[in-house]
Structure 1
Amino acid sequence: MYRKLLIVAIIFSGIGYLFALSGENMAMRWILKPGTIILMIVLAATARNSAKPYKNLIIAGLFLSAIGDSFLLLSGNHWFTFGLVAFLIAHLAYVVAFVTRWRFTPIQLLALFPIMAYSYLLLRKLHEGMLLGGNAGLWMPVLIYVIVISIMIWSAVISRSWVAVAGAILFFMSDSLLAWNMFVASVSWAGYGVMISYYLAQFLLAKSIEESKRSVISYANHNSPV
């Protein structure tokens, strides 16, 4: 019952942040932007009978994301870089989490092609926009970030968790919109699009812990002597 209440709290906190965003209420934005992720951390932490390495790594990724959210609330390229680094490490935590559920088959290599194609096209436009906008100094951090989040999506694919895959793709879509709005062309609804897709992504990644719970139970049943 309490987990259902947590999900309701997450939904209302996320919606509250969207209202704070539209009203430019910085106090509420500071509370609700990382606060919504903290509620997801609680949801993840209260999942029972789950694979502990996977669960702990997802929680670490969520915690680092909350730190990144706080940095991105500050203005200036250096704070943006700090936020980028926090999210970069969060993605590495997610990658390691997915690797703990490695279920690789050669056919999964095909998933690399659309991921690489999209990443290449996005990076090409971002590079052009950053050069024109005088943000060339951010190119290398952005390049590394896109490479890592691309690896994160593919590692979700090889974990065969479609909840995690959906979360990873939504995360990339959120970051793509954020970067496009910053460096290529202004998008009027970007703030809302970024946060809605971001919160959905993180929620799905947190919920993917429950799939690791089912895997643990299945493994235990398979190896039971009875």
Structure 2
Amino acid sequence: MVLYRLPILILTTSIVYIFISPSEPFVFSLFFKVIPMILIIIYATEQMPLEKNATHWFLLIGLCFCIIGDATLHWFIIGLTAFLLGHISYTLGFLKQANYSLKKGLAIIPITAFAIWMGIQLVSSLQESGQQQLIISVIAYITIISIMAFTAILTGNRWAILGSILFLISDSILSWNMFISSFAIAGDLVMITYYSAQFLIAHSLFTIVPSNTKPIVW
């Protein structure tokens, strides 16, 4: 039971924020929003071995940038920049563990196709709404999160792969809801997939050994 205490606490605080805590006042809501991420970062440090390699540090730094993004997403460009830096850190960490194969390499096709389709939808919507100043930032973000998901696949690490794909789904729902067409349960879906993604990426740290051995593969 002790082994699962922190994951259960992460799940509980996530449920509290998503389904129970009020959205106002803003500071109160923000407090409950970052608690699960603080716990996920603590969980990540517990998954890291005493002898750490570059991947451990890059993923931990990525988690820290993401919690900054959580706290500042209300100011969109600041939050977006923090998440962008988080994805770059994740990408660098995954590249350190990358092990290319044709099977993994083919994943670039659906990821690229989805990124292009999503980019077209967002750019069109931003132009129609007169928010052209966001186009470059949004395209840059779509590009880096797609690269992050692809590099996670190259590691063969099942936890990192699922986490990165959920992160891609979460941000896609968020972008669609913000810029294209809003829908009632978007906020809940965004946070469910987001917390799940971050937990799985943090959980992947236990499979990354400090030697040159690759992590658990599919």
TM-score by length of 2: 0.91
Deviation >4 Å, runs of 4+: 215-219
Give the number of aligned pairs: 212
Matched, 1:104 2:100: yes
After TM superposition, list the pairs within 5 Å mapping 1:93-172 onto structure 2.
Answer: 93-172=89-168
- The amino acid that maps onto 1:174 is S
Contact (CA 8 Å) 1:3, 1:43: kept in 2 or not?
no
Q: 1:186: Cα distance to partner?
A: 1.0
Aligned partners of 1:129 and 1:183 also within 8 Å: yes
Partner residue, 1:9: 9
Once residues 144 and 31 of structure 1 are traced to their aligned partners in structure 2, the CA distance between those partners, rounded to angstroms, is: 29
Tell me the residue number matched to 1:205: 201
One-letter amino acid of the counterpart of residue 184, structure 2: S
RMSD between aligned alpha carbons? Answer: 1.9
Among all aligned residue pairs of Structure 1 and Structure 2, give the percentage whose two residues are the same amino acid: 33
Deviation at 1:184, TM superposition (A): 0.5
What's the offset of the Cα at 1:112?
A: 0.6
Query: 1:170 touches 1:201 (CA, 8 Å); kept in 2?
Result: yes
Q: How many Å apart are 1:2 and its aligned residue?
A: 4.7
Contact 1:17-1:32 at 8 Å conserved across structures: yes
Match of 1:177 among 143, 160, 173: 173
Q: Conserved in 2, the CA contact under 8 Å of 1:64 and 1:87?
A: yes
Gaps of 5+ in 1: 220-226
TM-superposition CA deviations, 1:130-170 (whole Å, max 9, x none) = 11122111110000000000100110011111211111010
C-alpha distance after superposition, 1:204-226 (max 9, x if no partner): 0000101114x85968xxxxxxx
Q: Which has the larger radius of gyration?
A: 1
**Residue segments in structure 2 that go unaligned for 5+ positions in a row:** none
